[in-house]
Amino acid sequence: MKNISLKTTLFFLFIALSFFACRNEEKKGKDLTGTDTLTYKTEHIQVLSSYIPKPQDGITDITKATISYPVFQNKALNDYLLKQVFSFFSQEEPPTSYQDVANSFVKGYDEFATENKDYTHSWYLDINIKPISQFKDYIALAYTHSDYTGGAHGSHNIIYINFDPVQNKPLTLDNLIENGSSIKLTALGEQIFRKDEKLSATEPLTEKYFFENGKFILPLNFYIGKNGLVFLYNAYEIKPYVDGTTELVIPFDQLKGILKPQYLTAKN
């Protein structure tokens, strides 16, 4: 009886693990109303360097490139995501695939380290792309890109990708807002920015921020979230690196007459 019980237990454990693995492999995005939309699976790539640098402070780290990205049944969307990743790399020898991106990064380190035998640092590349919001004819993805190739510190950027999977085209901010409403949107954004940063309505923006000529502008980085229109300034964009990213959210109830109706109703 013990042997039968053990086999039965192992069988059901195998079924459970297989089910869990499938759930990790293939996912369905959730829109803002909780309805299933685009189905995708997540692919993972990791390439390790064969070159081991001299230990630093007793610690040895290996250079690696790690990439995690969704694969949709929509080829146009897949191609557009890949194009966004390629834009981060040299256009003289453009990569042709995610695998090529990882291989090229590690190869670049290996060549550099081989020529500089006393170099003690390792490099890293970490790319993660994942859906963060979607409904009917809209999907937004967060593309997080972190890397280190020497220097005082690495770089870290979050890029929001907006796409219409029905018409298969990228979406700009002008596509989402009513004609002639950009000035009103910017003014609204500045009000919220000043409130978040605890600034008065007249306090100049030249002291603490990098706005050109002290004039407030919204970043090109945005997406429609569950609470409204989300904007993100990456490090160095308006503040020093040490201050990191700055998020600005304009609530839906303040976007009436600005955000087009089909996107404004996403709040429901």
Instruction: pLDDT tens for the chain, 268 residues: list them.
Output: 334 443 333 333 333 333 333 334 455 554 443 444 688 999 999 999 988 877 666 556 899 999 999 999 999 999 999 999 988 876 667 778 999 999 999 999 999 999 998 888 899 999 999 999 998 899 999 999 999 998 888 899 999 999 999 999 999 999 999 999 999 999 999 999 999 999 999 999 998 999 999 999 999 999 999 999 999 999 999 999 899 999 999 999 999 999 999 998 765 4
Burial (CB count <10 Å: 0-12, 13-18, 19+), residue 56: exposed
Provide the pairing of β-strand 228-233 with 222-224.
antiparallel
Q: Which long-range contacts (CB under 8 A, 24 or more apart) does 209-217 make?
A: 209/238, 209/239, 210/236, 210/237, 210/238, 210/239, 211/238, 216/186, 216/189, 216/190, 217/186
Taking a C-beta distance cutoff of 8 angstroms, is the pair 263, 224 a contact? yes
Tell me what pLDDT residue 90 has: 67
CA 210 to chain CA centroid, Å, is 23
Provide the pairing of β-strand 64-72 with 246-251.
unpaired
Q: For the chain, how many residues are written?
A: 268
CB atoms within 10 A of CB 231: 22
Tell me what pLDDT residue 61 has: 82
> What pTM value is reported for the model?
0.82
Find, among 176, 169, 118, 126, the residue nearest to 149 by Cα: 126
Find, among 232, 129, 231, the residue nearest to 177 by Cα: 231
Taking a C-beta distance cutoff of 8 angstroms, is the pair 105, 125 a contact? yes
Taking a C-beta distance cutoff of 8 angstroms, is the pair 129, 71 a contact? no
- Residue 89, CB-side half-sphere exposure with 13 Å CA sphere: 23
CB atoms within 10 A of CB 215: 10
Tell me what pLDDT residue 89 has: 79
Tell me what pLDDT residue 197 has: 96
Find, among 246, 239, 244, the residue nearest to 154 by Cα: 244
Taking a C-beta distance cutoff of 8 angstroms, is the pair 211, 199 a contact? no
Structural domains in the chain, sorted by start = 29-170 (3.30.565.40), 173-267 (3.90.640.20)
- Cα–Cα distance for residue pair 139/239, rounded to 1 Å: 29
Tell me what pLDDT residue 55 has: 67
Residue 203 is encoded by which pair of tokens? 């306090």
First to last CA, the chain: 56
- Cα–Cα distance for residue pair 26/18, rounded to 1 Å: 12
Which H or E run includes 262? helix 261-264
Tell me what pLDDT residue 148 has: 95
